[in-house]
Amino acid sequence: MNLHLALKRAERGERIAFHICWVSMLLAWGLSLVGGLRIIGSFDPYDPAATLLSVATGLVFVLACIVFPLSLASLYSRFRPRLQRIRQEISDVEIGKLQREIKALRAPCGKQAE
């Protein structure tokens, strides 16, 4: 029961990290186009064409560019291995249960298997 709860928590953590990863990637990609084309102004705060909105958007762009590789690294180095480890533990427990059941079924009638 505890392993199944740990599996649900690990899956939720992996799913959150995955969503953060793809959202930040799309934000970084989309805002790079917005900044490169200067649709709302320059991302550079010292540029005369910069507005408050363009500088704030530039800040979001920088944060998205930082969050994307960090979330991708944590997804593959932290969340996926934990999920695989928990799945392996559940598999080992289930195999152990099946082996005990087979042993009990192979035992002669009236004798208990060890």
Closest CA relative to residue 51, chosen from 32, 35, 29, 30: 35
Tokens of 92: 């080992």
Q: Is residue 47 part of a domain?
A: yes
Tokens of 6: 């740990």
The tens digit of pLDDT for each residue in 55-96 reads 999 999 999 999 999 999 999 999 999 999 999 999 999 999
Chain-wide mean pLDDT for the chain? 90
Number of domains in the chain: 1
pLDDT band, residue 41 (cuts 50/70/90):
confident
In this prediction, residue 38 carries a pLDDT of 86
Q: What is the pTM of this model?
A: 0.76
What domain range includes position 43? 2-82
Residue 101, pLDDT above cutoff 80 = yes
Q: Is residue 24 part of a domain?
A: yes
Q: Is residue 44 part of a domain?
A: yes
Percent of the chain with pLDDT over 70: 95
